[in-house]
């Protein structure tokens, strides 16, 4: 903690040198992704917070860290409360805090590479209300004081085979160019690495758990393109894959190339692009057309080849999960089995797959009270034994060359209390309600979210995270624009979209429950209107020992028994004899 205090003091000295009264430190890089390279872990370096979302604001005398409901417990364990106020980003927004802390004539600064324009609007309004100003910093103050900051990553970029992509990048570029011309736009700038990776059928390894290269792209309406990518990442194989119409320029050339767009209509996704891009285009006198990243929706709607790859990946991953759960069932109760040991076991089993590339996120291995920390990250320091009687939550997944997986199961060790079984079954009822619904074309995830919460609400219960996030195909494990959440969504669910179904319940200091499958949107039998439904991708049994059968109605039991039969039928051929026998027992009809 003393080291963190020294870093905070150094930051304040750097701010003072340049006449700034405050600086915003987001947990993001130039690409606004969930995962960042070690050189971009500025928030963690300053505060100790290791979560995937949040930001800090440091003023001359006060500082605060802002996190969402997933991290309200975690932040108190990792960040010194004497240095930073803890704030819930929704209930205690930064705008309120700034209005109380800023004074007339003060200046709050930010790095325009690390923020989008919309993300700064409320902060700017709060500054103005307090008589202060929000300005771009002359440089990133954290970088200036981080003496041993890691170098930017230089991992190779490689082609993603057509056998997995299902559509060649030339055709994708042609379709994008057609879209630009139809809207009278001359070019588009892409800043999201997953969008660029999908569009050009390339993959990389610059950030943990996500197989993408960090780069920017400029695509013209004639179908030509520039990738702003460090040349050291590109070999002859990659250049041959890209072809002559796609040039590779150094990232430092990005500004110069944007300057050449004077007078042209340039599309930019203001919600995801760094403000620096918008400011540079404006300075170059380009006509900036703010609109959605044009790759987002076609990337989300997986083609038949990608859906097949996801199914294959989930079948193999399901076999891994059954092997893991069988192994866990054979381990004695007591203090000998720790969260870390169990996490290492499941990670090791996944790595044995020939198509395994990486984990899709660090495994969440939460026993007892740690299971109530939604995005708990086990470490040698935090690892505790699995309970002799109680619940263990494991949320895990992998990046396979043919698909991305993400699954959560809550497992009963010994005996569960009646309360635990009640909560487990209510979560399961929500999971089944969402999985089994049919819905008309045009329905959004926010319209379906209540289905997953209904049984919990009837018990006076709820959870503070979204119900479902989109998932990429050997890309981001968290992918938009589709989601299932209380929060408003303008994106209708469409065939080919993969999304998670993960209601939960968390009792702080005691236990957590989450049950997650990935599901894919498919066309359903038509009624008077065009209808869609969900098909499960994830194949793994739910723990029978957590279910209070009397709380399930006939339709719910039928869904569960049918799903378990599918799990048994598809996974048994991939298992050893003892594992298959265990699975057969775990999937017997209830």
- Transcribe 333-354 into DSSP letters: SSSS-BHHHHHHHHHHHHHTST
Rounded to whole angstroms, the Cα distance separating 85 from 97 reads 10
Q: What is the mean pLDDT, run by run of 10 residues, along the chain of 590 residues?
A: 86 97 96 93 95 93 91 89 92 92 95 95 92 96 96 97 98 98 98 98 96 98 97 97 97 97 97 96 97 97 98 98 97 88 97 98 96 89 93 98 98 97 98 98 98 98 96 96 95 98 97 98 92 98 98 98 98 98 98
DSSP codes of every residue in 504-541: EEEETTTEEEE-BEEEEEEE---SSS-EEEEEE-----
CATH number at residue 106: 3.40.350.10
Whether residue 514 sits in one domain with residue 392: yes
Query: 285 and 337 share a domain?
Result: no
Query: Are 36 and 9 within one domain?
Result: yes
Quick one: pLDDT at residue 1?
Answer: 58
d(CA 380, CA 362): 14
In-domain check, residue 244: yes
The verdict on 193 and 270 lying in the same domain is yes
Does residue 505 contact residue 463 with C-beta atoms inside 8 Å?
yes
Does the CA dihedral 24-274-118-34 come out positive or negative?
negative
Per-residue burial over 3-20, b = 16 or more CB atoms within 10 Å of its CB, e = otherwise:
ebeebbebbbebbeeeeb
474 and 560 in a common domain:
yes
Exposed, middle or buried by CB within 10 Å (0-12, 13-18, 19+), for 122? middle
CB proximity list for 337: less than 8 A, separation 6 or greater: 331, 385, 386
Which pLDDT does position 560 carry in this prediction?
A: 98
Helix (H) / strand (E) element for 283: namely helix 275-283
Measuring CA to CA, which residue among 81, 83, 103, 85 is closest to residue 93?
Answer: 85
Is residue 151 domain-resident? no
Tokens of 90: 């929704």
Going by their DSSP bridges, the two strands 498-501 and 517-523 should be labelled as antiparallel
Q: Among 110, 145, 180, identify where a domain stops.
A: 145
Q: Which residue range(s) make up the domain with 67? A: 2-145
Residue where a domain stops, chosen among 124, 145, 166: 145
Residue 288 and residue 306 share a domain? no
| Domain membership flag for residue 365 | yes
121: part of which helix (H) or strand (E)? helix 117-129
502 vs 488: CA distance, rounded Å: 18
Task: Supply φ then ψ for residue 423, to 5 degrees.
Answer: -65, -40
Residue 371 Ramachandran class (φ > 0 left, ψ -120 to 50 alpha, else beta) = alpha
Residue 553 near residue 559, CB atoms below 8 Å: no
| 428 and 457 both lie in a single domain | yes
Q: Which two tokens stand for residue 10?
A: 């150094």
Which stretches of 414-503 are assigned E, i.e. beta strand?
A: 438-440, 468-470, 479-484, 498-501
In this structure, is residue 131 part of a structural domain? Answer: yes
**Helices and strands of the chain, counted as H and E runs:** 19, 28
Let me know whether 217 and 312 are in one domain.
no
Which residues, in sequence order, are bridge partners of residue 483? 469
What is the C-alpha R_g of the chain? 25
Residue 133 shares a structural domain with residue 48: yes
Name residues whose C-beta falls within 8 Å of residue 579's C-beta, 6 or more positions apart in sequence: 322, 323, 326
Identify whether residues 62 and 136 lie together within a single domain.
yes
Counted domains in the chain: 3
Task: Quote the pLDDT of residue 2.
Answer: 63
CB 544 within 8 A of CB 587: no
Note whether residue 582 is domain-resident.
yes
153 is a domain residue: no
What CATH number has the domain bearing residue 401?
3.90.230.10
Question: Do 285 and 378 lie in a common domain?
Answer: no
Residue 502 preceded by cis peptide, ω within 30: no
The answer to whether position 424 is within a domain reads yes
Distance separating alpha carbons of residues 374 and 538, to the nearest angstrom: 20
Structure tokens belonging to residue 464: 């503070």
103 in a structural domain:
yes
User: Do both 506 and 377 map to the same domain?
Assistant: yes
Q: What is the pLDDT of residue 33?
A: 87
Domain termination site, one of 268, 292, 316: 292
């Amino acid at each position: 903690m003393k080291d963190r205090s020294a870093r905070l003091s150094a930051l304040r000295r750097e701010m003072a040198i340049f006449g700034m009264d405050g600086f915003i430190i987001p947990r993001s890089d130039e690409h606004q992704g969930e995962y960042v390279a070690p050189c971009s872990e500025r928030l963690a370096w300053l505060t100790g917070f290791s979560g995937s979302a949040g930001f800090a604001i440091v003023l001359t005398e006060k500082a605060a860290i802002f996190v969402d409901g997933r991290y309200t417990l975690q932040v108190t364990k990792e960040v010194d409360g004497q240095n930073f106020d803890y704030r819930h980003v929704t209930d205690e927004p930064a705008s309120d805090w700034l209005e109380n802390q800023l004074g007339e004539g003060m200046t709050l600064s930010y790095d325009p590479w690390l923020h989008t324009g919309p993300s700064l609007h409320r902060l700017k309004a709060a500054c103005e209300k307090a008589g202060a100003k929000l300005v771009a910093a002359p440089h990133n103050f954290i970088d200036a004081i981080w003496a041993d900051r890691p170098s930017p990553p230089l991992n190779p970029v490689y082609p993603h085979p057509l056998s997995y992509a299902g559509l060649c990048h030339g055709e994708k570029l042609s379709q994008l160019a057609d879209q630009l011309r139809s809207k009278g736009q001359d070019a588009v700038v892409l800043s999201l690495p997953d969008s660029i990776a999908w569009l050009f059928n390339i993959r990389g390894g610059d950030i943990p758990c996500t197989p993408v290269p960090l780069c920017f792209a400029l695509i013209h309406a004639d179908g030509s393109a520039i990738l702003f990518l460090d040349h050291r990442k590109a070999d002859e194989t990659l250049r041959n894959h890209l072809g002559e119409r796609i040039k590779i320029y150094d990232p430092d050339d990005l500004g110069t190339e944007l300057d050449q767009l004077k007078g042209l209509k340039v599309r930019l996704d203001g919600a995801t692009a760094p403000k620096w891009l918008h400011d540079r285009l404006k300075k170059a006198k380009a006509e900036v057309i703010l609109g959605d990243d044009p790759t987002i929706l076609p990337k989300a709607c997986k083609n038949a080849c990608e859906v097949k790859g996801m199914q294959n990946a989930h079948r193999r991953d399901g076999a891994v999960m059954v092997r893991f759960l069988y192994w866990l069932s054979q381990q004695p109760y007591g203090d000998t089995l720790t969260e870390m040991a169990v996490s290492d076991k499941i990670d090791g089993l996944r790595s044995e797959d020939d198509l395994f590339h990486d984990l899709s996120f660090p495994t969440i291995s939460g026993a007892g009270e740690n299971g109530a920390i939604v995005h708990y990250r086990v470490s040698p320091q935090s690892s505790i034994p699995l309970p002799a009687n109680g619940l263990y939550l494991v949320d895990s997944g992998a990046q396979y060359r043919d698909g991305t997986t993400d699954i959560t199961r809550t497992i009963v060790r010994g005996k569960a209390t009646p309360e635990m079984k009640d909560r487990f079954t209510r979560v399961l009822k929500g999971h089944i309600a969402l999985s089994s619904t049919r819905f008309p074309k045009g329905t959004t995830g926010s319209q379906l979210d209540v289905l997953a919460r209904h049984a919990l609400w009837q018990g006076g219960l709820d959870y503070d995270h979204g119900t479902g996030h989109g998932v990429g195909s050997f890309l981001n494990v968290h992918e938009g624009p589709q989601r299932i959440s209380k929060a408003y969504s303008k994106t209708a669910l469409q065939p080919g979209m993969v999304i998670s179904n993960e209601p939960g319940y968390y009792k702080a200091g005691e236990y957590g429950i989450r049950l997650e499958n990935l599901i894919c949107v498919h066309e359903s039998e038509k009624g008077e209107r065009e209808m869609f439904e969900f098909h499960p991708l994830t194949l793994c049994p739910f723990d029978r020992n957590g279910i209070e059968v009397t709380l399930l109605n006939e339709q719910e039991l039928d869904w569960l028994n049918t799903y378990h039969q599918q799990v048994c039928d598809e996974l048994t051929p991939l298992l050893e004899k003892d594992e298959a026998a265990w699975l057969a027992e775990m999937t017997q009809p209830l």
